[in-house]
Structure 1
């Protein structure tokens, strides 16, 4: 392996994101990398930065295929694909195994294994933090749009729950984004990740209050 591991993984990962939609594209991977590094900086234990950075770049390379129904589990697929890619670059077996563990365990799905290493826990936290705060609200709205497009029907509506008997859609409303964020914040592993999550949740609560106020404005007479 002639190239630094993180830079190598970045170069290898980018072609896989060519067909990605905004919520899971190379910019998401880059933000997860940056968040991972911030959490690692604030953690009291030593982190293998090469493994962590490589896993951040590679964690969603299977998302475009999963979206099209070609594969079922992008984490498992990414782990297998990363093995082939990194073995060809003579990455040491122990570091390759560590990267694969990060990829297999980064998802919030019930079928995903629990992250056991510090690097895997940090990657998990960084990926979940990307679903919170200002960036998270934009990403989650993108995902709602993606799901609506894939299903061919509206997945959720831009509205609040019914108040005082007002007519409300039977579809999920803004509370869906709140629930998605809260679910992820509850599962964070690291103290630095939880601190960042607290700050982002504070902003989200202000956003939801503002959203409700805007929706509730009475029409001018």
Structure 2
């Protein structure tokens, strides 16, 4: 292999994001990559940027297939597919194993292993921070719409019935976004990740307070 691992993984990942929706497309992969490298640069320990970059580009290549019901677990599928792609490019087994672990451990689902390496923890944190702050709120809203808009299901409601006094709904509401974001901030592994998460938490607190203040501003009618 003569090409650097990060750019190589970017090139290999692009076709797998062609059918992705906005919350998990190639732009998301790039933001996670950039954020992971930023966190790595703030670490006191040495970070393998090539492993981290490659894993970030490849971490969600299975998302479109999972969304369409072709696979059950995009983490596990993505790790296997990444191994196939990288082996064909003569990437070393040690590098492939490191990247596979990062991919397998980047999710918060119960079936995912805990991240053991620093690179895996940085990827996990970068991916979770991508679901917080201003951009994260937009992404989470996209995910709610993506999940609730599938055939046979109803869309989530915007209003939080506990705040607006509206009749309770059986469907997800705005409170779900807050829960998802806070869950991700609570799970961060690294000191740089937690430092970056603090102002994002502050922004989200202000956002949701403003959201609550706007409920019912038009009154009854």
TM-score by length of 2: 0.96
Q: CA deviation at 1:154?
A: 2.3
Q: CA deviation at 1:160?
A: 2.0
Question: What is aligned with 1:38?
Answer: 38
Question: What is aligned with 2:70?
Answer: 70
Number of aligned residues: 221
1:70/1:4 CA distance change after superposition, 3 Å: same
Question: What is aligned with 2:136?
Answer: 136
When the two chains are superposed, the root-mean-square deviation of aligned CA atoms in Å is 1.5
Contact in 1 for aligned 2:163/2:212 (Cα 8 Å): no
* 1:62-211 matches, cutoff 5 A: 62-163=62-163, 165-211=165-211
Give the distance between the partners of 1:107 and 1:95, measured in 2 at CA.
20
Give the distance between the partners of 2:89 and 2:202, measured in 1 at CA.
43
TM-score by length of 1: 0.96
Q: CA deviation at 1:22?
A: 0.4
Q: What 5-or-longer segments of structure 2 have no aligned partner?
A: none
Give the distance between the partners of 2:11 and 2:191, measured in 1 at CA.
31
Alpha-carbon displacement from aligned partner over 1:38-61 (angstroms, at most 9, x marks no partner)? 110111110000000000000000
Give the distance between the partners of 1:204 and 1:172, measured in 2 at CA.
19
Contact in 1 for aligned 2:164/2:216 (Cα 8 Å): no
Give the distance between the partners of 2:140 and 2:30, measured in 1 at CA.
17
Q: CA deviation at 1:172?
A: 2.3
Q: What 5-or-longer segments of structure 1 have no aligned partner?
A: none
Give the distance between the partners of 1:162 and 1:118, measured in 2 at CA.
41
1:134/1:95 CA distance change after superposition, 3 Å: same
Give the distance between the partners of 2:165 and 2:29, measured in 1 at CA.
43
1:117/1:152 CA distance change after superposition, 3 Å: same
1:52/1:133 CA distance change after superposition, 3 Å: same
Give the distance between the partners of 1:129 and 1:37, measured in 2 at CA.
13
